Structure 1
Amino acid sequence: MSISLLLDMAASSAPDRVAVVSDDVRWTAGELNTLTEGGAGVIQASGARTVAYVGTGGALLPLLIFSAARAGVPFAPLNYRLSGPKLRELIDRLEDPLLICDADYVDSTGGFDGKLLRSEDFVAAAATADPVSLMPDPEEVAILLFTSGTTSAPKAVELSHNNLVSYITGTVDFESAAPDDVALICVPPYHVAGVGAALSNLYAGRKMVYLRNFDAARWIRLVAQERVTTATVVPTMLDRIVTELRDTGTTLPTLRNLAYGGSKVPLPLVRTALDLLPEVGFVNAYGLTETSSTIAVLGPDDHRAARASADPAVVRRLGSVGRPVPGIEVQIRDEQGREVEPDEPGELFVRGAQVSGKYSGIGSVLDADGWFPTRDVAVLDAEGYLFIGGRSDDTIIRGGENIAPAEIEDVLVEHPAVREVAVVGVEDPSWGQIIVAVVVPEPGVEPDVEALRAHVRGSLRGSRTPDRVVFRAELPVTPTGKVLRRVLVDELALDAAVGGAAGQ
């Protein structure tokens, strides 16, 4: 089954329903369907073997997703925040691409001299082109997404039509949204959550409202103006929204569900959001690019139960990503590849029809039984709740002892003087690596280094106490809130080399 059939179903069921809102654009499901057939004609006429996109998305994202599908070629949305040379590196890895580019980013494509159309020109051409609607092999690549490259060079993840359709049909019921349901989407178009949002909301029959450049105040205004009922944000967005609501006293009476994900959210922020918006159902969604988006969910009932409970086991679940979604199997394995007992840490492996585990130029990394190694350190408790402890690549080896940064971060972020924190390992001639905590203090606060170290020592073994604590105004993160640990390690190494380290 091609992902284009998801649009076929939506347009056949309710062609006059407004499906997409973005700035001045308001397309019904029928209009979007017609435009994508014309868009497929434009792509086919170009002779391209891939469609690439550089821009902020909005209504253009679902148009390009389905146009490329109907033309039978992969769609690759690229990170518009990258420098020209970095963007060009990614473009050069694509097979004979047609590059669609927002006007603001034409000059940021590293001098690309191949097939290129400005976004507005593509939309105009789609409106008049001869319609095309091919039916590709379900195992062919539908979406090509580059990983963020926080720990290594970006890899091109291949998601087939089957992967994506399995995810959507396994987690969403067709036309299940209420007539007044409206989704506000502000995740980047090059992130798997952006692709998933376009597919799932259209299939559910929910109007999609796009905010192409996030701003907390504008996000709140859009919720009111469009009577938004559901939204998805990343941790940095949630933090800014909570701050804006708290500072202004604004309420969100139409909002019924707010999903967050993309990276780990500090528990103090989750608790503050729950207390500030008691009528909103919060959802923590965990997934990876290689798994076609969400594989585990902590739903509203679990959030409320954990916040209200006095039982430590239930309270602890607020820090989990919930339980696997239908169709997903999970295993936690030790270093020898053996499945561990509940509450024992190990590497998370997942299996299911939505799991790709396939990369361009590399091939599949699934094992013989179809399991994908996520490289995330995780724990599965006896009730089936999944806890993510960070990437295995981030493990600090200090004096031969393996230390997970997440366990130190979880303690430090609870200190009242700490707003954000990232813990990394920095090379050391004596210990191999030492533990460095990079702290963003609460506004107007100057934390005491020894008090922070003592706070950690009071909860964890002495070997987990940071050797150094340094302060920053902000952490380097991706647009989805993932900390760029390599950047921190490089900065700290440079500081040490020039004798300019702060804190200590």
Structure 2
Amino acid sequence: MNLTTLLDMAVDGFGDRTVLGGTRDGLSAEGLRKAARHGAAVLMQSGASALLYVGANGPAFPVALLAAAVAGVPFVPVNYRLGEEQLGALLAGHPGALGIADERHAPVVGPAVTRLMTPEAWFTKTTATDVPGRPVREPEPESTAVIIYTSGTTSAPKGVLLRHDNLVSYVIGTVEFAGAGAEEASLLCVPPYHIAAVSNVLTNLYAGRRLVPLETFSPECWLNLVRSERVTNAMVVPTVLARLMAAPGANRSVPSLRTLAYGGAAMPPRVIERALREWPQVGFVNAYGLTETSSTVSVLGPDEHRSAFAATSPAARARLHSAGRPIPGVEVEIRGPDGAALPAGTSGRIWVRGAQVSGSYAGQEPASGDSWFDTRDLGHVDDEGFLFVEGREDDTIIRGAENIAPAEIEDVLLRQPGIADAVVVGVPDEEWGQRVEAVVTPEPGAELDPDLLRETVRESLRGSKTPDRITVWAELPRTDTGKIRRKDVAAQLAR
């Protein structure tokens, strides 16, 4: 099977149902397939080796993803917020590609591609009435469907190769075909270059749920669109949920919303706890996954959120901040430095295996289909199989001979009144190798005392984990998907 199979199934199952856009002017499943086939014809006629997408969310994005699949060429969504030098470097790796980019990026993208179209021009052309016949090319399940570049927060961005069979395995393993009601709608507000955006297009199409793209985020726009389009499902990164909960004077009434998934970065405890109180009718889902795993590998579901939130025992309550349990078809192991599996409650590296796992990168030998993949995330499982993600191993601070996990200290800080955000990093130190430093941001109107915060950490954790210095900033540098730019923080603190 390949991605075109999912599209054909949607047409056969609910061809007349609107699956993209507004209720009045959206595309049906049949209309989406026609647009994808028309786009594929454009790609094949131009001889394009790939389809690059450099732009924000919008109806052109799902059409482009599926058109590339029908044409049998890789779809490459690129971070449109990159600087010219970084963007140019990524584009240079895809000679002979056709590009879709907004006018702002045209001067950089145009010279690197065989043909350039704006998202608006692409969507207009592909949804025209003169749709050509079905392209004859049929992609092999083992061929590359999508190439997504990692965020590069701890190293240079790498192009993750996701095959058709990886993505199809994820979709059919996690979603019931045609399982959504005709009235259901899903809000797409994750950037196109994030794996969650790609997986949202595919899973909602397969389920028969209408997809509503949100091009530009603000709390007011998000809330208004949820209400006006009667959105039932949405996925956000933690910073978006934090902004929704903190927006002063906002009307947070979302009567149609049934399910809200979140992931991509650590969720501050007080944010999810406030959301659970504010939206009692919403089922929350914490989805842990990576680009290399075609999205989610572990889920904390709605019932688990509510039971953990209501629990009185510390162990049960702690599961509210876990990543839940592995999804069907995925195996998870915690391993030590020697590669041996570790028992429950012991921290180590998180390894995963399953048909949806790629673990392959551009320019490297492809990984075996049944190989275990080292996520390079640290974590542990409890005695009931709940996975707790403790952060990237690359983030570990080595102070003297002791390894210190920033997440443990950040958790203490984020529980303190008045703190909106926090990060802990290692800064070079002549005596210890690295010293522990923290940066916190205040909630509106709050005043933070760094000395008192250090004492609070010392009372909760031992002295070696107490930050040598705590600095107050107005905000922390983050990626568009909510990940803290730790390298930038550490560099500024080291000045």
TM-score by length of 2: 0.96
Match of 2:430 in 1: 429
Match of 1:269 in 2: 271
Number of residue-to-residue matches in the alignment: 492
- The Cα of 1:22 is off from its aligned counterpart by 6.3
Match of 1:346 in 2: 348
Match of 1:209 in 2: 212
Match of 1:464 in 2: 465
* 1:491 counterpart SS class: helix
Match of 1:73 in 2: 73
Show structure 2 runs of 5+ residues with no match: none
Question: Residue deviations 1:15-57, cap 9 Å, x none?
Answer: 2111111699511111111111111000001111111011113
The residue identity in structure 2 corresponding to 1:281 is G
C-alpha distance in structure 2 between counterparts of 1:432 and 1:444, whole Å: 37
Pick closer, same or farther for the CA change 1:333–1:79 going to 2, 3 Å: same
Match of 2:123 in 1: 123
C-alpha distance in structure 2 between counterparts of 1:183 and 1:399, whole Å: 49
- The Cα of 1:471 is off from its aligned counterpart by 1.2
* 2:38 counterpart SS class: helix
C-alpha distance in structure 2 between counterparts of 1:111 and 1:34, whole Å: 30
Match of 1:317 in 2: 319
- The Cα of 1:133 is off from its aligned counterpart by 4.9
Q: 1:103, 1:119 within 8 Å by CA — same for their partners in 2?
A: no
**Range moving further from structure 2, 11-20 or 408-417:** 11-20
C-alpha distance in structure 1 between counterparts of 2:207 and 2:375, whole Å: 29
C-alpha distance in structure 2 between counterparts of 1:98 and 1:249, whole Å: 42
- The Cα of 1:250 is off from its aligned counterpart by 3.5
Match of 1:406 in 2: 407
- The Cα of 1:404 is off from its aligned counterpart by 0.4
Match runs of 1:194-273 below 5 Å:
194-244=197-247, 247-273=249-275
The residue identity in structure 2 corresponding to 1:96 is G
The residue identity in structure 1 corresponding to 2:87 is L
C-alpha distance in structure 1 between counterparts of 2:252 and 2:124, whole Å: 40
Q: 2:48, 2:114 within 8 Å by CA — same for their partners in 1?
A: no
Match of 1:90 in 2: 90
**Range moving further from structure 2, 397-406 or 87-96:** 87-96
Match of 2:442 in 1: 441
Q: 2:349, 2:375 within 8 Å by CA — same for their partners in 1?
A: yes
Structure 2 residue 137 is the aligned partner of structure 1 residue 134: yes
C-alpha distance in structure 2 between counterparts of 1:248 and 1:9, whole Å: 41
Q: 2:99, 2:110 within 8 Å by CA — same for their partners in 1?
A: no
Structure 2 residue 161 is the aligned partner of structure 1 residue 164: no
Match of 2:21 in 1: 21
Identity of aligned residues (%): 48
Question: Residue deviations 1:115-145, cap 9 Å, x none?
Answer: 2222233234333453325211100000000
Match of 1:304 in 2: 306
From 350, 358, 361, the counterpart of 1:359: 361
The residue identity in structure 2 corresponding to 1:171 is T
The residue identity in structure 2 corresponding to 1:30 is E
**Range moving further from structure 2, 123-132 or 286-295:** 123-132
The residue identity in structure 2 corresponding to 1:103 is E
C-alpha distance in structure 1 between counterparts of 2:23 and 2:242, whole Å: 24
C-alpha distance in structure 1 between counterparts of 2:23 and 2:109, whole Å: 25
Q: 1:158, 1:359 within 8 Å by CA — same for their partners in 2?
A: yes
Q: 2:76, 2:147 within 8 Å by CA — same for their partners in 1?
A: yes
Q: 1:196, 1:293 within 8 Å by CA — same for their partners in 2?
A: yes
Question: Residue deviations 1:292-315, cap 9 Å, x none?
Answer: 000011011011001111011110
Match of 2:454 in 1: 453
C-alpha distance in structure 2 between counterparts of 1:317 and 1:179, whole Å: 34
* 1:370 counterpart SS class: coil
Question: Residue deviations 1:399-453, cap 9 Å, x none?
Answer: 1100000000001110102110000000000110000101111222221111101
Pick closer, same or farther for the CA change 1:233–1:262 going to 2, 3 Å: same
The residue identity in structure 2 corresponding to 1:189 is P
Q: 2:438, 2:470 within 8 Å by CA — same for their partners in 1?
A: yes
Q: 1:22, 1:211 within 8 Å by CA — same for their partners in 2?
A: no
CA RMSD between the two structures? 1.6
**Range moving further from structure 2, 152-161 or 58-67:** 58-67
C-alpha distance in structure 1 between counterparts of 2:149 and 2:292, whole Å: 10
- The Cα of 1:365 is off from its aligned counterpart by 5.2
- The Cα of 1:206 is off from its aligned counterpart by 0.3
- The Cα of 1:462 is off from its aligned counterpart by 1.2
Structure 2 residue 187 is the aligned partner of structure 1 residue 184: yes
Q: 2:141, 2:163 within 8 Å by CA — same for their partners in 1?
A: yes
Question: Residue deviations 1:227-278, cap 9 Å, x none?
Answer: 111111111110111123x633531111111111110010011101101111
Question: Residue deviations 1:125-182, cap 9 Å, x none?
Answer: 3334533252111000000000000000000000000000000000001000022111
Q: 1:344, 1:380 within 8 Å by CA — same for their partners in 2?
A: yes
The residue identity in structure 2 corresponding to 1:268 is R
Q: 1:306, 1:316 within 8 Å by CA — same for their partners in 2?
A: yes
Q: 1:40, 1:133 within 8 Å by CA — same for their partners in 2?
A: no
Question: Residue deviations 1:60-106, cap 9 Å, x none?
Answer: 11101110011110000000111122111111012421111123432
C-alpha distance in structure 2 between counterparts of 1:230 and 1:423, whole Å: 33
Q: 2:440, 2:470 within 8 Å by CA — same for their partners in 1?
A: yes
**Range moving further from structure 2, 9-18 or 472-481:** 9-18
Question: Residue deviations 1:440-482, cap 9 Å, x none?
Answer: 1122222111110111111111110001111111111111100
Q: 1:87, 1:110 within 8 Å by CA — same for their partners in 2?
A: no
C-alpha distance in structure 2 between counterparts of 1:335 and 1:76, whole Å: 35
The residue identity in structure 2 corresponding to 1:362 is Q
